[in-house]
Amino acid sequence: MSERVDRIATTAVVESLENMAFMEVLAATEESRQSVAEETMSVKQQVLAPVQGEFHLLMPRPLVGMIAETIFTMAMAEVSEQQLEDVATELLNTIAGKFLNDFLPTDETYKLGLPVIETTGTAGHDQQVKTWHFNMAEQPVTLIISKNLLEPDSVEDDK
Amino acid sequence: MKRIVIVDDSRTSRMFIRRCFEIIRMNETDFHEAADGAEALALLKRIIDVDLLVTDLNMPNMDGEMLLKTVKEDQALTGLPVVVITSAGNPAKEAELLALGALAVLNKPVSPATMNNKLGALIQD
């Protein structure tokens, strides 16, 4: 199950970010996992059904700015805080949806909450999470998912 | 196709969807945007001759599913084609939305090619 979850999580992040930002996303090296972005934007999105859990996406603010530049075709200096936050929340919304579409059985619907910017910086501090690290434009991208969302009984093994 | 209403609480997503339409040569189309279903309904009452409604599902105030139901139950709007573009569109949800009257359900992130393939006959009219 773990390999399947890793594959689905990786695909969700890579395909979502590459298709939206037109930048390559790579699995993080051990060295890059240790790097800490000076200013990190953190987004949270709750899963409301069929089980309750959370997705978190952490990205350096400059990286979100680069993506916003591409999407809005404007210079980073012109990108507003609201646009930055909107880009970050939409990225997680897309990743979370793609993950659940591929992870859950095809005959099971699900309900996501609205993605929100986190200000308290507690993402990932709970030990009951699984974390994936990536690199995009040489900057770290981290996806965190509640472990209870990944329980075996919500999985279709042959998918 | 002259007039399209795009509904999504994310400005990023609305921009992305509009960009996809423009890439498939719909840059002469008149685009209108709304941030939720309630805003979209108010827009639809004001604008005449809307050719296509494109909506997200997960939105505050009124979500896309309720918007779809409301449009299909409104005598004046029931013939309006509605396309859902969502991150939450697995086969089960797609079947539900099609049964409610959606023309098509596309998954985010949508691409110009997918849009052209799924909606080609409608949007090139």
pLDDT tens, residue by residue, B97-108: 999 999 999 999
In chain A, residues with a C-beta closer than 8 Å to the C-beta of B13 are 90
**How many beta-carbon contacts under 8 Å exist across A and B?**
71
More confident residue, B39 or B27: B39
Residue (of A145, A81, A85, A84) closest to A118 by Cα position: A85
Q: Do B107 and A100 touch (CB under 8 A)?
A: no
Q: pTM here?
A: 0.89
| Spatial distance between the Cα atoms of B105 and B83, rounded to a whole number of angstroms | 6
Q: Do B87 and A72 touch (CB under 8 A)?
A: no
Kindly report the number of other CB atoms within 10 A of residue A157's CB atom: 7
Backbone angles phi, psi at B111, to 5 degrees: -120, 155
Q: What is the ipTM of this complex?
A: 0.87
Reply yes or no on whether the pLDDT at B24 is more than 80. yes
Q: Do B108 and A93 touch (CB under 8 A)?
A: yes
Q: Do A114 and B9 touch (CB under 8 A)?
A: yes
| Spatial distance between the Cα atoms of A140 and A128, rounded to a whole number of angstroms | 22
| Spatial distance between the Cα atoms of A72 and A56, rounded to a whole number of angstroms | 24
Q: Do A19 and B96 touch (CB under 8 A)?
A: no
Per-residue pLDDT at A154: 46
In chain A, residues with a C-beta closer than 8 Å to the C-beta of B10 are 86, 89-90, 93
For the stretch B39-98, pLDDT in tens is: 999 999 999 889 999 999 999 999 999 999 999 999 999 999 999 999 988 899 999 999
* Four-residue CA torsion sign, B5, B8, B14, B20: negative
Q: Do B92 and A108 touch (CB under 8 A)?
A: yes
Region A47-76: mean pLDDT is: 92
| Spatial distance between the Cα atoms of B59 and B81, rounded to a whole number of angstroms | 20
Per-residue pLDDT at A124: 57
- Whether A156 has its CB under 8 Å from any CB of chain B: the answer is no
Per-residue pLDDT at A31: 62
Per-residue pLDDT at A158: 42
Nearest residue of A to residue B92, measured between CA atoms:
A107
Q: Do B12 and A90 touch (CB under 8 A)?
A: yes
| Spatial distance between the Cα atoms of B46 and A25, rounded to a whole number of angstroms | 43
- Whether A90 has its CB under 8 Å from any CB of chain B: the answer is yes
H or E element, residue B123? helix B112-123
- Whether A57 has its CB under 8 Å from any CB of chain B: the answer is no
| Spatial distance between the Cα atoms of B7 and B92, rounded to a whole number of angstroms | 22
Per-residue pLDDT at A86: 96
Residues in chain B: 125
Backbone angles phi, psi at A131, to 5 degrees: -125, 140
Reply yes or no on whether the pLDDT at B120 is more than 90. no
